[in-house]
Amino acid sequence: MSEISSLPLGLAGADAIALGRLGQELATAWDGFRRPRPQQPVAGEALRALLSDPLPEAGMPLPEAIDATMAVLDTSLAQSRPRYFGFVGGSGLESAVLADALAESFDINMASWSAAATDLEPQAIGWLASFLGYPAADGHFTSGGTVSNVTALAAARRRVLPQARTEGMAGHRLALYCSAEAHASIVRAAELLGLGSNAVRALPQRADRGVDPAAVAAAIAADRAEGILPLAVVATAGTTLTGAIDPIDALADICAEHQVWLHVDGAYGAPAAAVMPEAFKGMERADSLTVDPHKWLYLPKACGAVLVRDPDILEATFGHDKSYMPDEDELPNAVDRTLEYSRPFRALKLWLAFRVHGAERFRAAIECNLAHARLAYDLVEEHPRLRALTGPPTLSVVAFQHLPEDPAADVNAHNARIARRLQRDGRVWVASAAVDGQVAIRPCFVNFRTTEPDVRALIDEVCEAGAQV
């Protein structure tokens, strides 16, 4: 019988090479992220061939494999770059990247009791809750806003229909109430939890784009009259489309009156509560809160979080008896309070980032992004060929259009072409979006590396592309 290698997948003494290259490539990348890129590289013939390779039967030397990896990364869209303004991205905070590298090396599983790591997660949740001004009694880190929203609404279902865990919906009809501008993950949650997408009441907005509380109250009353159980009101604290904030305090009053769960989806906007708490008044009254530190707390993906006020609701929602995973009162398993089983040590990146930088520097970075959005809006308002589609920014999203010289031209098609041209060019990267039926250029400012010249460059590039298309 042949001898079995004890380390068939080890790097065979190449650890120093690997760590040296890692440090070198990280330093090069981080330095590059501090300055705008002249253009987005396109995949050449060699890279296209590399990405068509079949399964390798034999390995290659580590330096060559790292070269191939860097070729892929260098030609990918990186949200860490200062002129990436698309969607609501993160920006790969360096201290959190180091935490990720260390956590992945130790490969800790947060499903089960993991000694010090298990103790660190509630500390990090407590820090996050304190930063946001939310009185969390429990909470966990997730892969992002969708899982956090599903988790919170599953807890709401447990509250209103406890037998759903064993009997399913059993003929009961439930409904969710939210703004017409709420994130699509709310509909996805309704589908996954057995309510069906038709159970989501996407309700009218006020002039400030926040949901109309009177419409929410009327919808709850109408559903109850039809025998439909209100599951939860979902208030959005920073919509992805325009950054609008629902009137959380007024919604909390309605939920208290009707005894309905209030969930706040603050995946994007909640961190701004640390610098403008008046805009988020009532958030502290919510039964649950979603926030994505991998968005406006600048951490690398994936790092979402769900926070709740009831210390027992998550265990009541997700706990199971498992013969393969003995439970002991003094060594609790987090899997009994989370949707995910195998779960990486996501808490470490937020914990280390707050250790290194402190809360005040995060607040300062958020303030800068708010100022960037206000500057962009002012530049749009001053330019004769630009038109804002909403009022002054509530948070850090600015939706606007470039007006073609020909007054008979299709403005929507014109702006869609501008967005595609900017994405191909790559000097700035911005997405288009449909705002009230109009195609808008929609930058979002959530990058700690972005500066005022980057904001001005965005407006200049839009105007240049508009003139050319």
Dihedral of CA atoms 153, 157, 159, 162 in degrees, nearest 10, equals: -150
Termini Cα distance of the chain: 71
Paired strand residues for 32: none
- Tell me which amino acid residue 193 is: L
Paired strand residues for 202: 178
CA–CA separation, 181 vs 189, rounded Å? Answer: 16
- What CATH number should be reported for the domain whose range is 98-357? 3.40.640.10
Per-residue pLDDT of the chain (469 residues; tens, 9 = 90+): 455 556 677 776 667 778 888 899 999 999 999 998 888 888 899 999 999 999 999 988 888 899 999 999 999 999 999 999 999 988 999 999 999 999 999 999 999 899 999 999 999 999 999 999 999 999 999 999 999 999 999 999 999 999 999 999 989 999 999 999 999 999 999 999 999 999 999 999 999 999 999 999 999 999 999 999 999 999 999 999 999 999 999 999 999 999 999 999 999 999 999 999 999 999 999 999 999 999 999 999 999 999 999 999 999 999 987 766 666 566 778 889 999 999 999 999 999 999 999 999 999 999 999 999 999 999 999 999 999 999 999 999 999 999 999 999 999 999 999 999 999 988 999 999 999 999 999 999 999 999 999 999 999 999 999 999 8
CA–CA separation, 270 vs 272, rounded Å? Answer: 5
CA–CA separation, 124 vs 347, rounded Å? Answer: 6
CA–CA separation, 265 vs 234, rounded Å? Answer: 7
CATH of 360-468 among 3.90.1150.10, 3.30.70.260, 3.40.50.300, 3.40.50.1370? 3.90.1150.10
pTM: 0.94
Return the ∠ at Cα 82 (arms to 92 and 299), rounded to 5°: 20
* Three-state secondary-structure class, residue 336: helix
**Residue at token pair 């260098």:** 74
Backbone angles phi, psi at 393, to 5 degrees: -65, 135
Q: Which helix (H) or strand (E) element contains residue 355?
A: helix 347-357
Domain boundaries, the chain: 15-79, 98-357, 360-468
**Residue at token pair 């993160």:** 90
**Residue at token pair 């500390």:** 123
